[in-house]
């Protein structure tokens, strides 16, 4: 048993140096671990530290070039910034990135919750895919605008894992009023390469490129207790208003102005009440189904009378 544990510890030390770009002799590490743990009864963590220090000195490696060893944690354990951690997660959503320094941004999660992740372009990693599970090794926790996130840098490793990770339910139902529609809603243009929203014919990553039209609404729903930032796609909008992409283009052509679509959508939807079901992301509620709230007046009056009589 202890022999196995020593092999495990040996592997951890060797791997840590390897991840930092140094090869160390596994036999030598194992021999020293045995000596410290079995002969001198030194606790595991101290034995590891002692050997790591010995190797740093022996190989003349500056301490800061050795990557910090990170513990395997759960999403819910992440509460402090600037910690090196590893975690097994599923990629829940990939988001649009507006910054060329970011390669990918989105949401990952495990059975304890979800967290935003950022993969820096400099990290030079293969892209991750939605719905797949990965081991994110040696990532750094960070806090941005009061929320925790994890950052993937060049010392991090991402490897796909053959495990199914089940997330807590994210679907919620909200009944409330649409109190705001953002300016970047309506008939928008997306980059053909990366699907990011373009501004004045320019993709934030690919510059001046050809795009394609899309229809969406970014807005705010207020249910009287909370506000939800929601994203409605073309299908949602078409179901509500009858205005799909084709109709939106016709409006834009008729008025010779793409923003006419936004004005029309605002006129029809702003201030109205809706019942919707969506997936809760870190920031946005991605709407799956949305309908106008129809209040059954007769039923409401009956309820009111009953409550007065009671
Ligand atoms: Zn692009």
Average pLDDT (84-110) is: 91
Question: How far apart are the CA of 193 and the centre of ligand 1, in A?
Answer: 5
> Ligand 1 mean position to 198 CA, how many Å?
8
- In the reported structure, the alpha carbon of residue 216 is separated from the centroid of ligand 1 by a whole-number distance in angstroms of 18
**Structure-block tokens of residue 177:** 């009023």
The pTM of this model reads: 0.53
Structure tokens that stand for 219 in this block: 């807005």
Nearest to 213 by CA among 180, 266, 251, 263: 251
Give the CA count within 13 Å in the CB-facing half-sphere of 193.
Answer: 11
The pair of three-digit structure tokens given for residue 173, joined into one six-digit string: 């139902």
Between the CA of 152 and the centroid of ligand 1 the distance, in Å, is 21
How far apart are the CA of 133 and the centre of ligand 1, in A? 25
Buried b (16+ CB within 10 A) or exposed e, 15-31: ebbebeeeebeeeebbe
Cα–ligand 1 centroid distance for 164 (angstroms): 31
Task: State the sign of the Cα–Cα–Cα–Cα dihedral 240, 244, 249, 250.
Answer: negative
Answer yes or no: is pLDDT of 54 > 70.
Answer: yes
What is the Å distance from ligand 1's center to 192 Cα? 7
3-state secondary structure 155-211: CCEEEECCCCCCCCCCEEEEEEEEEEECCCCEEEEEECCCCCECECCEECCCEECCE
From the CA of 191, how far away is ligand 1's center (Å)?
A: 5
In this predicted structure, the answer to whether residue 281 has a pLDDT above a threshold of 80 is: no
**pLDDT confidence tier of residue 69, bands split at 50, 70 and 90:** low
Angstrom distance (rounded) from CA 153 to CA 151: 6
At 163-174, the pLDDT tens digits run 889 887 778 999
**Alpha carbons 303 and 294: distance in angstroms, whole number:** 16
Q: What separation in Å is there between the alpha carbon of 224 and the centre of ligand 1?
A: 38
Q: What does the pLDDT look like over 29-52, one tens digit per residue?
A: 999 999 999 999 998 888 998 999
Residue 104 CA, ligand 1 centroid: distance in Å: 12
CA of 245 to the centre of ligand 1 (A): 21
What is the predicted pLDDT for the residue at 219? Answer: 97
Ligand 1 mean position to 190 CA, how many Å?
8
- Residue-level pLDDT at 175: 94
pLDDT for residue 198? 92
Q: Which of 57, 59, 7, 15 is nearest to 33 (CA)?
A: 7
> Ligand 1 centre and the CA of 98: distance in Å?
9
Q: What is the pLDDT of residues 119-132, one digit of tens each?
A: 999 998 999 999 99
The stretch 278-301 carries a mean pLDDT of: 84
Give the rounded percent of residues in the chain with a pLDDT score beyond 90. Answer: 65
CA of 204 to the centre of ligand 1 (A): 6
Higher-confidence position of 266 and 82: 266
Span 153-167, mean pLDDT? 89
Task: State the distance from the centre of ligand 1 to the C-alpha of 272, rounded, in angstroms.
Answer: 34
CA 203–ligand 1 middle distance (angstroms): 5
Whether the CB-CB separation of 244 and 215 falls below 8 Å is answered with yes
Q: What is the pLDDT of residue 44?
A: 85
> Where do the domains of the chain lie, and which CATH numbers do they carry?
2-65 (no CATH), 71-160 (2.40.50.140), 171-297 (2.40.50.140)
- 210 CA to middle of ligand 1, Å? 9
Residue 2 has pLDDT above 90, yes or no: no
Q: Decide which of 46 and 283 is more confident.
A: 46
Residue 97, pLDDT > 90, answer no
Cα separation, 271 vs 269, whole angstroms: 6
CA of 95 to the centre of ligand 1 (A): 13
Q: Is the pLDDT of residue 64 over 90?
A: no
Closest CA to 258 of 270, 245, 269, 249: 249
How many A from CA of 157 to the centre of ligand 1? 25
pLDDT band at 181 (very low <50, low <70, confident <90, very high): very high
Closest CA to 141 of 159, 115, 120, 161: 115
CA of 181 to the centre of ligand 1 (A): 24
Q: How far is the CA of 201 from the centre of ligand 1 (A)?
A: 11
Distance 252 CA to ligand 1 centre (A): 24
**pLDDT-derived band of residue 225, with 50, 70 and 90 as boundaries?**
confident
CA of 96 to the centre of ligand 1 (A): 10
């Amino acid at each position: 048993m202890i022999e196995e544990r020593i092999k495990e510890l040996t592997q951890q030390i060797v791997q840590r140096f390897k991840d930092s770009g140094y090869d160390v002799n596994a036999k030598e590490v194992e021999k020293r671990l045995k000596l410290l743990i079995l002969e001198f009864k030194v606790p595991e963590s101290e034995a590891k530290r002692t050997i790591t220090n010995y190797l740093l000195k022996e190989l003349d490696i500056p301490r800061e070039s050795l990557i910090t060893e990170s513990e395997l944690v759960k999403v819910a354990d992440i509460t402090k910034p600037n910690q090196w951690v590893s975690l097994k997660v599923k990629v829940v959503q990939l988001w649009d990135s507006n910054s060329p320094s970011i390669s990918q941004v989105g949401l990952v999660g495990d059975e304890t919750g979800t967290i935003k992740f950022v993969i820096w372009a400099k990290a030079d990693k293969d892209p991750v895919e939605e719905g797949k599970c990965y081991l994110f090794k040696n990532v750094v926790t960070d806090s941005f605008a009061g929320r925790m996130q994890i950052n993937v840098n060049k010392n991090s490793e991402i490897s796909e894992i053959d495990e199914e990770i089940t997330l807590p339910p994210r679907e919620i139902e909200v009944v409330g009023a649409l109190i705001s529609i953002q300016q970047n809603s309506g008939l928008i243009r997306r980059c053909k390469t990366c699907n990011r929203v373009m501004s004045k014919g320019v993709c934030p990553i690919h510059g001046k490129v050809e795009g394609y039209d899309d229809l969406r609404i970014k807005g705010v729903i207020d249910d009287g207790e909370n506000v939800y930032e929601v994203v409605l796609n073309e299908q949602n909008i078409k179901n509500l208003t009858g205005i799909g992409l084709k109709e939106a283009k016709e409006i834009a052509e008729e008025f010779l102005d793409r923003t006419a679509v936004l004005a029309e959508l605002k006129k029809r939807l702003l201030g109205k009440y809706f019942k919707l079901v969506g997936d809760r992301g870190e920031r946005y509620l991605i709407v799956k189904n949305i309908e106008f709230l129809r209040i059954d007046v007769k039923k409401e009056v009956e309820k009111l009378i009953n409550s007065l009589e009671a």
